[in-house]
Amino acid sequence: MSQFIIPDFIKNADVNKIHKRMRDNLPNDIDKSEGSDVWNLTYPTAYEHAYFAQFCILNALRLIWPEFSYGTYADYHGACRGMARRKAQHATGSVKIIGNIGVNIPKGTVFTTAQIADESVTEFVTTENVSIGDNKTVTVNIIAAIAGKSGNVPANTITVNSDKIVGLSSITNETATTGGYDEESDENFIERIKEYDQSQDNSFIGNDNDYRRWALEVDGVGEAVVISPEDNPNVEDDSGVVNIIIVDSNGVPADTTLCAAVYNHIMQPVPLSIDGKKTDGQTTTIERLAPPGVILEVTAPTTIAISVSGLIELDNTVGIEDIKSNFISSISEYIVQAIKDGEVRYSKIASILSNTAGVADYKNLIVNGNNTNVQLMLNQIPTISETTIKFDVGLVDG
């Protein structure tokens, strides 16, 4: 991001300079020294003048440009361009319930994850009315009560009968809940606005930038890589097949629901796609963004595991398990940028490790068996987990 240059007329609007000008404009035959009545009466006005200039006016000037805006003001800039911030999405899944035959579980029943230590629980709400059948089990669809990636919980973690319905003996989600995405950050939204402005001299005829921009308009998308026919080894150059590789806003390969949402947004097929590919009997609608003759496929990328090893010295503020967890979280946030760069940069991994809470120092850092950048193919994204991290603990200079 560029640095905002403060105008000179604001730089010179500090309280002491304003106060001096006010006193200089008063007659010289009165006492204007510090502590006098004149000094005490004029200083509060000078202070408010300086506050208005150096805070209120300065912030108003910054908000004129999208790059320095935030929150609602960034939304205003987007709205002027027909753009909207990607909304947070609720995670969905299902729970299997075991209990007495005939017990009714009404729509809106709340089940939660178990509370561990001081961590807050995650609430889920049933989306339909169901009753336990003769086999003493029933499966019901659920949705996270709060939108965001916090609703993506692992399998077998939703186990609490929060509404205390009588007759239930067991509750669990046999698979992880998915599809929860946080609201688009100011940083990402402003970056899209800047890209939009910079592309205004380009024709909107379906080039790679157009497809990427259209894909990024869909809620839940984190990054999109466009592979045109001439770059796709799996199709003929004249096939008209454009492939968009989608990563969600959590930095993981998009699921079929998100791929389908991107396809439907760009192609507007009738009937709608359910997997990100051409539908049978598809017709073109007036809202279609892609030009005629294009065959679009929206798919998830393949993954490449990133392994990290090295010797770290602890500062004894947190334990090694917390260090691993914080390190993985920071790497996950970096993944979208790595996809844009086309590589996982060794220096970035080193920087993240150095700035991870609990790490005093490190040496012998190895990433995927080397101390160089890891190159990514067009359809690859990096992934990292505790199983691919091996940190030895000791003294770096010992």
Q: Are residues 212 and 226 in the same domain?
A: yes
What whole-number distance in Å separates Cα of residue 25 and Cα of residue 18? 11
Question: Does 72 map to a domain?
Answer: no
Q: Is the pLDDT of residue 233 over 60?
A: no
Question: What are the pLDDT digits (tens) for 11-54?
Answer: 878 899 889 889 999 998 898 888 898 889 999 999 999 889 88
Helices (H), the chain: 8-11, 15-24, 37-51, 58-62, 71-80, 186-198, 208-216, 256-267, 320-341, 346-354
Question: Does 183 map to a domain?
Answer: no
Q: Are residues 371 and 296 in the same domain?
A: no
Structural contact between residues 362 and 273, judged by C-beta atoms closer than 8 angstroms:
no
Instruction: Give the per-residue pLDDT at 203.
Output: 58
Q: Average the pLDDT over each of 111-120, 255-264, 281-290 and give the range with the smallest value.
A: 281-290
Question: What are the pLDDT digits (tens) for 114-150?
Answer: 988 778 899 999 999 999 999 999 999 999 999 999 9
Q: Which residues pair with 314 in a beta bridge?
A: 359
pLDDT grade, residue 381 (50/70/90)? confident
**pLDDT, average across residues 386-398:** 86
Instruction: Give the per-residue pLDDT at 86.
Output: 94
Question: Does 38 map to a domain?
Answer: yes
**pLDDT, average across residues 309-338:** 88
Question: Does 149 map to a domain?
Answer: yes
Instruction: Give the per-residue pLDDT at 258.
Output: 96
**pLDDT, average across residues 233-237:** 58
Instruction: Give the per-residue pLDDT at 150.
Output: 93
Counting the structural domains of the chain, the total is 4
Q: Are residues 280 and 319 in the same domain?
A: no
Instruction: Give the per-residue pLDDT at 35.
Output: 87
pLDDT grade, residue 397 (50/70/90)? confident
Instruction: Give the per-residue pLDDT at 204.
Output: 60
Question: Does 242 map to a domain?
Answer: yes
User: What per-residue string of b and e applies to 95-123 under the rule 16 or more CB within 10 Å gives b?
Assistant: bebebeeebebeeebbbbbeeeeeeebbb
Mean pLDDT of the chain: 89
Q: Is the pLDDT of residue 231 over 70?
A: no
Q: Are residues 168 and 112 in the same domain?
A: yes
Question: Does 340 map to a domain?
Answer: yes
Q: Are residues 292 and 219 in the same domain?
A: yes
Task: Check whether the bond before 291 is cis (ω within 30° of 0).
Answer: no
Q: Are residues 210 and 295 in the same domain?
A: yes
What whole-number distance in Å separates Cα of residue 287 and Cα of residue 7? 45
What whole-number distance in Å separates Cα of residue 205 and Cα of residue 214? 12
Q: Is the pLDDT of residue 239 over 80?
A: no
Q: Are residues 214 and 134 in the same domain?
A: no
Q: Are residues 325 and 260 in the same domain?
A: no
What are the Cα distances from residue 172, in Å, to 97, 104, 129, 180? 7, 17, 17, 19
Nearest to 261 by CA among 325, 218, 323: 218
Read off φ and ψ for residue 160, nearest 5 degrees. -105, 130
Question: What are the pLDDT digits (tens) for 185-228?
Answer: 999 999 999 988 887 765 567 788 889 999 999 999 988 988 87
Instruction: Give the per-residue pLDDT at 7.
Output: 84
Question: Does 191 map to a domain?
Answer: no
Q: Are residues 292 and 307 in the same domain?
A: no
Q: Is the pLDDT of residue 236 over 70?
A: no
> Is 160 buried (19+), middle (13-18) or exposed (0-12) by CB count in 10 A?
middle
pLDDT grade, residue 1 (50/70/90)? low
Instruction: Give the per-residue pLDDT at 14.
Output: 86
Give the type of residue at 165: I
Q: Are residues 281 and 327 in the same domain?
A: no
Triad 114, 117, 120: Cα angle to 5°? 55
The first and second tokens of residue 184, run together, are 């688009």
Choose one of 120, 153, 172: the last residue of a domain: 172
- Whether the model clears a pTM of 0.95, i.e. scores above it, the answer is no
Q: Are residues 273 and 324 in the same domain?
A: no
What whole-number distance in Å separates Cα of residue 155 and Cα of residue 174? 5
Question: What are the pLDDT digits (tens) for 269-286?
Answer: 989 999 999 888 878 777
Q: Are residues 332 and 316 in the same domain?
A: yes
Question: What are the pLDDT digits (tens) for 157-186?
Answer: 999 999 999 999 999 999 999 999 999 999
Question: Does 179 map to a domain?
Answer: no
pLDDT grade, residue 332 (50/70/90)? confident
The boundaries of the domain holding residue 134 are 92-172
